[in-house]
Structure 1
Amino acid sequence: MMNLTIFGTGACLLQRSKMLVPLVLLTLCVITQANGNASVKKFPENFLLGAATSAYQIEGGWNADGKGESVWDYYLHKQPDIVKDFTNGDIAADSYHLYERDVEILKELGAKAYRFSISWTRILPDGTTNFINPHGIAYYSRLIDLLLADNILPLVTLYHWDLPIAFSNNGGWLNETTGDRFGEYARIVFNVFGDKVKHWITVNEPSIHCSFMYEYGIHPPLKKSPGVGFYECGRNLLLAHAKAYHIYDVEFRKNQGGKVGLSLDAEWPIAASDSLDDLEAVKDYLAFSVGQYMDPIFKGDYPERLVNRIAAASRRQGCTSSRLQPFTDKQKAYINGTADFVGINHYFSLYVYRNESVRGYETPSFLGDTELGTFQDPSWPQSAFTRMREYAPGLYCLLMYLKDTYHNPAVYITENGFPMTPAEDLNDDKKAHYLRAYLKAVLDAKADGSNCQGYFFWSLVDGLEWASGLQKYKFGLYQVDYNDPSRKRTARKSALVYKEIIHSGTIDFSYNPDPYGDKCFKNT
């Protein structure tokens, strides 16, 4: 065994093992159980165990009570084939009308917190401050009040991908002024709800958002700009996040006493061998994923290896300058330090490698800049989504990496989940096992010093999974019957398992509840 310091701790080791390919030494990130059996560890009383959703994915009521159009409303009506099953978010789980039931579900679970997002166009129908919709404010006020009445902490996301259509038509996140409008929206939301909401997330998953919009063009506005738009979008989202942070810091923090962060998608990369190329590929993967956003906030600028790799690829492709526009000194100072906590959305791990097959891209692209390939171990338990396989040690190693690389920031796991197929019904045993395994990894990380302060399972109820639609992937702790106009919610086995974990503060892998026989849940 050899220690690899880039993994951030001696507890994450490289273990030589023959897997997948004969005679190839692959690596596993494993947990050193230096602190005993995790099954007897307990979550601290102040650790937030909850669930997460987002507005467009579950609310419905797409034009109810004066709500304006988001890019998803507009494009899915105009081009319904964007979504594989031709569904959309017009009704979804109908949480706009069934929010009381959703809060009741959280209470049934015993959840301590609920992460949800506010729809920008439900508050500002055209995205600007020209008109503030009182019905939108009333809806979120009722939701927040119900949560607080049941001692459920609201963790509120300002932007979860539902950009007002007017801004998309003006360049969207390729236009830096969109961040100015975002700041104006944030100010109104802080002002209206900040006396009750103390945890704010500015932006959800900027990397995936920018990638699907501009690298691959599969999410609205369906614009492909490989290796260019992806970085510009990310840059502008960082500036928008910083703007919202400073608005809160200067205008609201003293009186409201809340915290502001952002949520980043983060897989854990494992070197496919102990070759120098593969070990460097791991470092590059981390630089291009969490580093692209966390380094400017916690270290003052983009990671050096990210800057150098994009510059080198740009020169090779005949560009006169790097495709990654640098921050000015003023912008660096503006972004630096703008997170009271970091939200991490983690679903899976993967192996990374670098060889001649992934070198020398002749046209700009994100993959060409990274010059690395990925794959997964087929023995890892498979979800309904091909790339989402269970490998819980990856979450432990990620938390250790964040601890050691960024001076142990406060972290919330703001998304972690395992999609099942509709055919798997209520007995979602694989999801229940995934939930327990990843929570065990969180306990292990906390025992080894991680400043992880909460965990939010994705998701509370089944929702629209963006371009995959309503029917293919079922992430919910609660099943939603989309063939029933009343959108009946029914607890799955994973919900009962999570309830027991929240109640006991411990993880019991032998607990085997019957979702068809439990009478404590109001399945309506």
Structure 2
Amino acid sequence: MASYSFLGVTVSFIFIITYAFANDTLHFPKDFLLGTATASYQIEGAWNESGKGESIWDEYTHNRPNFIRDHSTGDVACDSYHKYKEDVQLLSNLKVDFYRFSISWPRVLPTGYANVINREGINYYKNLINELLAKGIEPFVTLYHWDHPEIFEKMGGWTNEMMVEWISDYARVIFKELGPKVKYFITINEAAVFCDEGYGRNDKAPGKNLGSTGKYLCMHNALKAHAKIYHIYDEEFRKPGDKIGIDAACSGAIAKHLNDTTAIDLHFQFHCGWAVHPIFSKTGDYPEVMKTHIAENSRLDGYPRSLLPKFSPTWVNYIKGTSDFFALNHYTSVRVETVPREEGQRWYQFSGVKESLDPSWPGSASSWLKVVPQGFREIINKIAKEYDNPPLYIMENGFSDECCTSDHSRISYLHSYIKAMLLAIYEDGCNVKGYTIWSFLDNFEWLAGYTERFGLVYVNFTDSQRTRTPKLSFNWYKHIIETRKLTSTFDSPTVINVA
């Protein structure tokens, strides 16, 4: 029951009578927001049109085609650059409260620098925002979803502290041009993912494969950049009611062995806490256990200092508190277990935790994505407990399959995860304010290319017109948005073609 209110039992009782009905219907709280999301490189196409510059994903897909499962690129993708009006009409038919999309940095600043502004690029986003607002749809705008200008990568990208200045200059342009009509901004999407997979390894652009040194340096600069962007917005552009935050990817953790709460906590601190503890904790800075473990391993490996960079007290204070809400991306969970360690020996994978997947968990088209709704409830509760129950917006949650519009498995997944979220709200007292399905359209799914589909709308990538067809899940979600409730059954409605 609720544990975050001084009203105690009274609040718990109110929660019970609010949502518990004979037919097991769960209603969404008042003013709860329901939406869907995309990202610029994954849907826009028009990679070299209308003055756009080259992004790191343009470079990565063009020069490393063997890294992409079907050797595809985002050159055309869903062609949303040309078809945005059709997309907004679909969103209107879906009746979403908001649409989360991202800005392509090289589309608006083709040289990367703020001295050259591409008016065609800026106008594309202005037109998209105007179209959304005309349909009563709130834009949630992400400034950075992994596609910075290639010119900056040649100078080190996120391993160069100058990225803090470059992206701040870019953010100021966006706030000036688009801010007057936007109430919600997200600074950076999933820094832990692109730092680990793009700089620590080569599984995402730019594919630097620099190991732990690269990924920790990347995050260090990303956190500084986020904080600077927040302060610019707060001091120069914020309007009454505006909100800005950072987006973190946090998976759930299920203990492999009964009562191994240590493994659950360590997993959280080294994955989610790494990206958000400096912002949301009362003390700021990286989690203490991270600093300790990484320093010990670094010393044992002969390094003269920890591989985890150190924030100065000034930076700790500058970063702390720089988010109006917690934006969470969550898809799945892992099974965790503590790895025994002898004194003087290295910590396993720094954290001292081994991850695995439970073979009993249902799967998806993505090898990493298993259906574990209890992990969703667990991570929502963990965030609430760690960071004083902040306003929480689920900014991505979704399921992959390989084809088709009859996507019953997606509906089943979404139903179970939304139910877990609502139970976290009503039974656990978690402060969740909104929910977003990834994704609105089938799109370019990074290294999977077009072989994995997350969309509520089917896109025919072999058709030059990129024909869109709403799936069963589209109509199922539309019904939920219209009724503002989740029933115990999830029968799929008939597919409806929407022009």
Aligned match of 1:355: 339
Q: Check if 1:287 corresponds to 2:256.
A: no
Q: Which residue of 2 aligns with 1:491?
A: 470
The counterpart of 1:272, out of the listed 256, 264, 274, is 256
* Contact persistence 1:57–1:463 (CA under 8 A): yes
Count of aligned pairs: 483
1:76 aligned partner: 61
For each residue in 1:43-101, what CA deviation from the matched residue of structure 2 results, as whole angstroms up to 9, or x when unmatched? 13411101000000000011111010001112222222221111000000000001111
Task: Work out whether residues 39 and 440 of structure 1, in 8 Å CA contact, stay in contact via their aligned partners in 2.
Answer: no
Match of 2:111 among 104, 126, 131: 126
Is residue 2:395 matched to residue 1:414?
yes
Of 118, 122, 129 in structure 2, the residue corresponding to residue 137 of structure 1 is: 122
1:484 aligns to what SS in structure 2?
Answer: coil
1:414-446, CA deviations, whole angstroms, 9 ceiling, x for partnerless residues? 000000012xx1111110011111111121112
Residues in 2 aligned to 1:367 and 1:140: alpha-carbon distance in whole angstroms: 46
Deviation at 1:376, TM superposition (A): 2.3
Structure-2 change in CA distance of 1:127 and 1:367 (3 Å): farther
Runs of 5+ unmatched residues, structure 1: 11-31
1:9-36 per-position Cα deviation (integer Å, ceiling 9, x unaligned): x9xxxxxxxxxxxxxxxxxxxxx99974
| Structure 1 pair 204–390 and aligned structure 2 pair: CA distance change class (3 A) | same
Once the two structures are superposed, residues 221-245 of structure 1 have per-residue CA deviations (whole angstroms, 9 ceiling, x without a partner) of: 2211211111110110000000100
Structure-to-structure mapping, 1:34-433, within 5 angstroms: 36=20, 39-253=24-238, 255=239, 257-274=241-258, 278-299=260-281, 300-355=284-339, 368-422=349-403, 425-433=404-412
Superposed CA offset, 1:92-141 (max 9, x none): 00000011111111111111100000000111001101210100111001
Contact 2:25 2:488 in 1 (8 A): no
Equivalent position amino acid for 2:395 in 1? T
C-alpha separation in 2, matches of 1:145 and 1:359: 61
| Distance (Å, rounded) in 1 between the aligned partners of 2:64 and 2:252 | 35
1:128-175 residue CA offsets vs partner (Å, 9 max, x unmatched): 012101001110011001111111110000000001001100000000
8 Å contact 2:95–2:481 — kept in the other structure? yes
**How far off is 1:356 after superposition?**
5.3
SS at 1:263's partner residue?
Answer: strand
CA-CA distance at 1:360 after TM superposition: 9.2
Letter in structure 2 aligned against 1:417: G
Q: What RMSD in Å do the two structures reach over aligned CA positions?
A: 2.3
CA contact (8 A) 1:200 1:259 kept: yes
Change (3 A) 1:256 1:193: farther
Task: Give the whole-Å Cα distance in 2 for the aligned partners of 1:361 and 1:382.
Answer: 36
Distance of 2:461 and 2:253 partners within structure 1: 36
Residue type of the alignment partner of 2:469: T
- SS in structure 2 opposite 1:440? helix
- The TM-score normalised by the length of structure 2 is 0.93
The TM-score, its normalising length taken from structure 1, stands at 0.88
Segment drifting more, 153-162 vs 264-273: 264-273
Kindly tell me: are residues 313 and 232 of structure 1, through their superposed partners in 2, closer, same or farther at Cα, counting changes over 3 Å? same
Amino acid at match of 1:285: H
Q: What is the match of residue 446 of structure 1?
A: 425
| CA displacement, residues 300-348 of structure 1 (integer Å, 9 cap, x when unaligned) | 1111111111011111111121110110011001101100011100000
Per-residue CA distance 1:166-190 (angstroms, 9 max, x = gap): 1100000000111110000000101
Report the AA paired with residue 294 of structure 2. I
Structure 2 regions of 5+ residues with no counterpart?
Answer: 9-14
Structure 1: distance between partners of 2:391 and 2:106: 30
Cα pair 1:360 1:371 within 8 Å, conserved = no
d(CA) in 2 for partners of 1:493, 1:357: 50
For 2:330 and 2:85, the matched residues in 1 are separated by 28
Deviates further, 370-379 or 301-310 = 370-379
* 1:245–1:339 CA contact under 8 A, matched in 2: yes
Query: Aligned partners of 2:221, 2:382: CA distance in 1, in Å?
Result: 26
Deviation, 1:257, is: 4.3
CA distance in structure 1 between the partners assigned to 2:64 and 2:257 by the alignment: 44
- 3-state DSSP of counterpart to 1:67: coil
The answer to whether the Cα contact below 8 Å between 2:191 and 2:219 also exists between their aligned partners in 1 is: yes
Aligned mates of 1:479, 1:101 — CA distance in 2: 14
Corresponding residue of 1:462: 442
State the SS of the aligned residue for 2:485: coil
For the residue of structure 2 that corresponds to 1:370, the secondary structure is coil
Q: Shift of the alpha carbon at 1:402?
A: 1.3
Q: Distance in 2 between matches of 1:45 and 1:62?
A: 41
| Alpha-carbon distance, 1:510 to partner | 2.8
